Amino acid sequence: MTYDFDLFVIGAGSGGIATARRAAEYGARVGIAEFDRLGGTCVTRGCVPKKLMVYAARFPSIFEESQGYGWSPVQSSLNWEDMINRVNNEVTRLNGIYQRMLDNSKVQVYQGRAKFVDNHTVEIGDTKVTADKILIAVGGTPIRPDIPGIEHALISDDLFTMSPQPQRVVLLGGGYIGSEFACILNGLGAEVIQVIRHDKILRGFDEDLRTEIQEGMIRHGIKIINNAEILEITKTDSGVNIKLKTDKEENILADAISLAALGRKPNTDNIGLENTGVKVDETGMILVDSYSRTAEDNIYAAGDCTNKLQLTPVAINEGRAFADTVFGGKSRVMSYENIPTAVFTNPEAATVGLTEAEAIEKYGSDRIQVYRSRFRPMYYTLAGKEEKTLMKLIVDQESDRVLGAHMVGDYAAEIIQGVAIAVKMGAKKADFDATVGIHPSSAEEFVTMR
């Protein structure tokens, strides 16, 4: 049977686009469907605009710190609308780049929602296309849990277009998005209250990291209400009222916005999966094997709509591994071990490998040696600030292998990216010790910890 395409990709986010282009490089005839802007969550309403806002939020402290170096006080104020416009213009520029990249790769783009008709047929509006292989890369969307009045809460997508600048914000959720936006909005001048249901933010990260980040955020003026259950959100004339249960019941008022960052769910509801044999779990995540293959032989899935990790580089890597295997004759699977990740909070944090708790659970406490260093980076001495950097290595004493590296502090993401190569290669603590440090830097601490 001949098909219109060798590969049809549903969803032109980071994973979908990378896969389409890689398959096209191998000579495959590729089509891709997207109902929104090209680039998906990461480019349009996630990592990219978020990171630009992280940069924007840094300036007030930089202005302050400059005085420690002899600069006169800086008089500057934020034009919120201008910042939002500039961020969105950059997103539009990137959307255009994606279009050109797909055109150059001769990938045919279909604008619209794609839906399975059967295992080899997809319809986009009135158009039907057939394909030998189909990749589902539809991404995810924020969850709105069953809390009375949750419809009054915004989601992170809204922040990139919101105007005027919020003055008092209540953020619900202590994960990546809740914590990052708490810091962005705080840095940009809002009064921020973050409500979390456990004792600390960023569950799943190393305990020392969680404590260091949370304490840093509080030091920067963010109020964190922990062990709180959100009972109800109501709209009032003066904003949004959030009713909470901690050890008592309390009400907090946000200035028109409360932001829910309570996890994400896959966009698998209306894509016609019922017309295929593709299996999903109870949350709608598509079940795939190590080759990203679903329960149907010719249908694959990658990225946030699968039961794996919700990170852009993971989606890209999964998709490319699929394209290499199926269209490039180079069979390979994505490795999920030692995936580094960063949280762009203030202080920033990044991590690779096992946490101390995970290492102890896996190897037993007798085998695990923890190296820790906490110091004030040189930059803050003249600036006169008590900002701290924390670095931590988790080592298996038996093999001397570094099992995990964790950092909170300036440039954590940039530093851990390099350390992650060593950890992924199976470097030993002796290899770290044998590496000459770059002096003076914070990063050198990773090779001098004793």
Which residues are the active-site residues?
439
121 versus 346: smaller Cβ distance to ligand NDP: 346
Cα distances (Å, whole numbers) of residue 328 to 179, 296, 368: 40, 21, 42
126 versus 337: smaller Cβ distance to ligand NDP: 337
Q: Does 230 bind ligand NDP (CB under 6 A)?
A: yes
Q: Does 263 bind ligand NDP (CB under 6 A)?
A: yes
Q: In which region does residue 68 sit, left (phi positive, over 0), alpha (psi from -120 to 50) or beta (all else)?
A: alpha
Which of positions 343-402 make contact with ligand NDP (CB under 6 A)? Answer: 343-344
Distance from C-alpha of 32 to C-alpha of 38, rounded to nearest angstrom = 10
Q: Show Cβ contacts of residue 190 under 8 Å, excluding neighbours closer than 6 positions.
A: 165, 166, 167, 168, 169
Q: Is 107 exposed, middle or buried (0-12, 13-18, 19+ CB in 10 A)?
A: buried
Among 86, 100, 198, 279, binds ligand NDP (CB under 6 A): 198
Buried-state track 359-382, b at ≥16 Cβ within 10 A, e below 16: bbeebeeeebebbebeeebeebee
C-beta of 46: minimal distance to ligand NDP in Å?
6
Is the preceding omega at residue 166 within 30 degrees of 0, hence cis?
A: no
Q: Does 264 bind ligand NDP (CB under 6 A)?
A: yes
Q: Does 100 bind ligand NDP (CB under 6 A)?
A: no
Q: Does 197 bind ligand NDP (CB under 6 A)?
A: yes
Q: How many residues bind ligand NDP (CB under 6 A)?
A: 23
Positions at the binding site for FAD: 51, 304
**In DSSP terms, which residues pair with 260 in a beta bridge?**
172
User: Sign of the CA dihedral 48, 51, 57, 58?
Assistant: negative
17 versus 261: smaller Cβ distance to ligand NDP: 261
Distance from C-alpha of 432 to C-alpha of 422, rounded to nearest angstrom = 9
Among 60, 68, 149, 175, binds ligand NDP (CB under 6 A): 175
Choose one: 11-19, 78-86, 127-135, 167-175; the region binding ligand NDP (CB under 6 A).
167-175
96 versus 148: smaller Cβ distance to ligand NDP: 148
Choose one: 84-92, 98-106, 339-347, 354-362; the region binding ligand NDP (CB under 6 A).
339-347
Positions at the binding site for NAD(+): 173-180, 263
How many residues make up the chain in this entry?
450
Distance from C-alpha of 450 to C-alpha of 448, rounded to nearest angstrom = 6
**In DSSP terms, which residues pair with 402 in a beta bridge?**
395
Q: Is 138 exposed, middle or buried (0-12, 13-18, 19+ CB in 10 A)?
A: buried
Q: Does 145 bind ligand NDP (CB under 6 A)?
A: yes
Positions at the binding site: 51, 173-180, 263, 304
C-beta of 309: minimal distance to ligand NDP in Å?
6
Integer Rg of the chain from CA: 24
CB distance 401 to 427 below 8 Å: yes
Among 107, 209, 252, 262, binds ligand NDP (CB under 6 A): 262
130 versus 258: smaller Cβ distance to ligand NDP: 258
82 versus 337: smaller Cβ distance to ligand NDP: 337
Q: Does 310 bind ligand NDP (CB under 6 A)?
A: yes
Binding site for ligand NDP (CB under 6 A): 145, 173-178, 180, 196-198, 203, 230, 261-264, 310-311, 341-344
